[in-house]
Structure 1
Amino acid sequence: MADDKSGRDKQARDAERRQQEREIATELERGDETEPSVDPATLTDFEGELDELTFPATGTDVVAAVGDHELESVEGSYAIEELVPESDEETFDSPDAVRVQVRRPTVAAAMKRIVEASTTLRSTDLSWTQRKAYEMTFEELEAIDADDDDEGIRVIRDWITDRIHDEERLPSSREVRREAAKFCRANGYQVRNDEWLGI
């Protein structure tokens, strides 16, 4: 491969795609969910409907095909359109990628709002690594804030979308983690320095 800008860009895209595939495989194997899982029966029905889609598929394609499908979790019922960003810039390589997206409904709903808000930014792209960092922050808030109706997730989601609208930029993962840690400490949750939120 030529050592020019397009060659380096292709290498970076390929590396990111391989990382995504590894993370999806790891996520599917995980058994230690930090959030109540989606009811397996509704997930099975949903997977059957996904088989009718051609992959890779955009978020818009997924919502158009199965957006009204309801998934049941311990916390309640969620329509797929509440969990998957309706955007042509959001791409799913396989049904497994969609399944991973919807397994944690509160995190998925928060990320949907952020992804859709970020599409308004010019020349700024929500990279896979930044997205994963945001998701990890939400997962930590879910684990810490399990009994408080996901207030931490809503607060940080709104904080990120406010930065997107007001400052026209995506906050760095470090800024998001710092804000989440501030929320936790202000609400009496201990955050150690060796934890994800411990900045």
Structure 2
Amino acid sequence: MSQFTKEMLAQIDQTTQDEFDLGTREAAKRKEGSRRNAYQKGLREVQDVAGKDAARELAEWIQDEIRTAERFPTARNVRKRGAKICREHGHEISTGSWLGA
């Protein structure tokens, strides 16, 4: 995992700590593996396709979802948003890509 991706995940983790009480964080930790994997994969894929600015935009969207909706975005929502961000930055997403799934 790149240092950039680690930093983006650390910011998402900090948002989780800021926004949720301990009980909610404990429940989230039980699901953390799949959630964190989806966020990591999404950030990496978006960065590979559209660059760091686009990946940062995805990380900010994930944080905004945690803050405003008070929920964790699903892997599907991360894929859809990541693909949308890439397209907005002028990049095609292949159907074989994790973002295009």
Structure 2: gaps (5+ residues) = none
Q: Quick one: higher RCO (CA 8 Å, sep 6+), 1 or 2?
A: 2
Structure 2 residue 20 is matched with structure 1 residue 121 = yes
**How many residues are paired up?**
94
Deviations 1:48-70 (A, max 9, x none): xxxxxxxxxxxxxxxxxxxxxxx
| 1:195 corresponds to 2:97 | yes
The corresponding residue for 1:59 is none
**CA separation in 2, counterparts of 1:139 and 1:164?**
20
Amino acid paired to 1:143? D
Counterpart contact for 1:138–1:153, Cα < 8 Å:
yes
TM-score w.r.t. length of structure 2? 0.84
Q: Distance in 1 between matches of 2:14 and 2:28?
A: 11
TM-align CA RMSD: 1.4
Alignment-mate amino acid for residue 116 of structure 1 = Q
Q: Map 1:33-182; keep pairs closer than 5 Å.
A: 103-119=1-17, 120-122=19-21, 123=24, 124-126=27-29, 127-146=32-51, 150-182=52-84
- The alignment's TM-score, normalised by the length of structure 1, stands at 0.45
Query: Distance between the aligned counterparts of 1:173 and 1:156, measured in 2?
Result: 12
Return the letter of the residue paired with 2:45: E
Larger Rg belongs to:
1
User: Identical aligned pairs, as a percentage?
Assistant: 26
